[in-house]
Amino acid sequence: MPEPRRIACIAGARPNFMKIAPLVRVMEASELLDATIIHTGQHYDRNMSDVFLAELGIPKPAFNLGVGSGPQGVQTGQIMVRFEEVFGSLDPALVLVVGDVNSTIACALVSKKHQVPVAHVEAGLRSFDREMPEEVNRVLTDQLSDLLFTTEESAEENLRAEGIDPERIHFTGNTMIDTLAHMLPAIEAADPAGKLGVSRPYGVMTFHRPSNVDHPNTLRAIVDFILRESERIPIVFPAHPRTRRQLERFGCMGELLHAQRVTVVDPMSYVEFMALVKRCRFVITDSGGIQEETTWLGIPCLTHRRTTERPITVTMGTNTLLRDGFDEAASLVTSILEGTYKTGQRPPLWDGRCAERVVPILEKFFGNG
Ligand code: UD1
């Protein structure tokens, strides 16, 4: 039996943990692969990081690079410097990156400079908006990757259009949905809204993108919308640290905290947040992953962004892009409350078994399996 090949699995920011968890679990059952986790430390607050590792049963990372926050270039550069420092002792056979955060591109780049192959899980998604740091990360990571695992058909079309060899592309489904399916019993057992004293029906809001929370006018429009809608339905608002800071900076936090039917809370654990979503009437968000999770759960999702890199959530799922702002959102909320909003379907291969398709492809990559 050959020595198992070491697969360095990179996670750094909150949305990465649920994407690597099922891959690590399936790799643990493989005799051919050895999953070693590297936490870049891009997210470091307990409730943005450690809580997720514990809840999802992710083994302790072999290294935590402890990079923390910083401007785009500084953060990306710091991850590269620190990953390079441990790369020699890690000696991976392959580096596996997920999603589109700064940790994704930084570790892919270091790996390729060491001539070590890269696998990208959630490849090929495109918003075609290069003002988003995530879009830059996606395009560059895909160009560097030897294996590209996709979640929806649009991704393969995008990759082919960018000249990626189709032989490297594998449509395997969605590992974040693997986690959601796997954790469903725990999610169904939790009732965070009840614990907060919020009764059903209620809506959920999350915002954290710079395009929404870094501009006072946009943030003001979001706050006005929440305050207005809360007259119709209570709103629970788990606030990302960046969002909380900006709300305070632009003087909007007081109003939200005083609003009778708005409940502002700290970021929740994975199980608690998904339980909050599963029992809500709708979500308004600018997140990437929540668009997919709501589609799978059949919960209406209104996404306050000009574009989505996950078009299947709109064409097949429960997601609507709020291109024309909050007037449109108010009428969509009306249709949700009246029960006339679209219902949607689960996209192909979002069946909870993506990691079981990815791992044999990794094994085969090394001439086994
Ligand atoms: C990052 C990802 C984004 C993802 C999001 C999920 C990039 C370019 N962006 O954005 O795609 O949707 O994670 O949350 O990688 N902060 C804390 N504690 C933490 C982490 C962040 O207080 O544990 C605060 C800091 O003030 C920091 C700010 O949040 O400056 C932004 O954090 P950062 O990692 O730069 O990006 P996110 O906005 O979280």
Residue 299's φ and ψ, nearest 5 degrees, are -100, 130
- Residue labelled with tokens 């430390």: 41
Q: Is 45 in the pocket of ligand 1 (CB under 6 A)?
A: yes
- Please identify which of the residues 43, 208, 240, 304 carries the catalytic annotation: 208
Q: Is 13 in the pocket of ligand 1 (CB under 6 A)?
A: yes
Q: What is the pLDDT of residues 74-132, one digit of tens each?
A: 999 999 999 999 999 999 999 999 999 999 999 999 999 999 999 999 999 999 999 99
Helix (H, G, I), strand (E, B) or coil at 236: strand
Give the residue ranges of the chain where pLDDT is below 70: 368-369
Is 208 annotated in the active site? yes
- Closest residue by Cα to atom 22, ligand 1, is 241
What is residue 159's predicted lDDT score, i.e. its pLDDT? 98
Q: Is the CB of 263 under 6 A from ligand 1?
A: no
pLDDT at 367: 86
- What pLDDT score does 368 carry? 67
- Which of 240, 246, 287 has the most ligand 1 atoms within 8 A of CB, as the residue to mutate? 240
Q: How many A from CA of 242 to the centre of ligand 1? A: 7
Nearest Cα residue to atom 27 of ligand 1? 69
Pick the closest to residue 293 from 330, 276, 306 (CA basis): 276
Amino acid at 218: T
pLDDT tens digits along 64-73: 999 999 999 9
Note the pLDDT of residue 327: 83
Token pair for 183: 């954790």
Does the predicted TM-score (pTM) go above 0.85? yes
76 lines ligand 1 (CB under 6 A): no
pLDDT tens per residue, range 139-168: 999 999 999 999 999 999 999 999 999 999
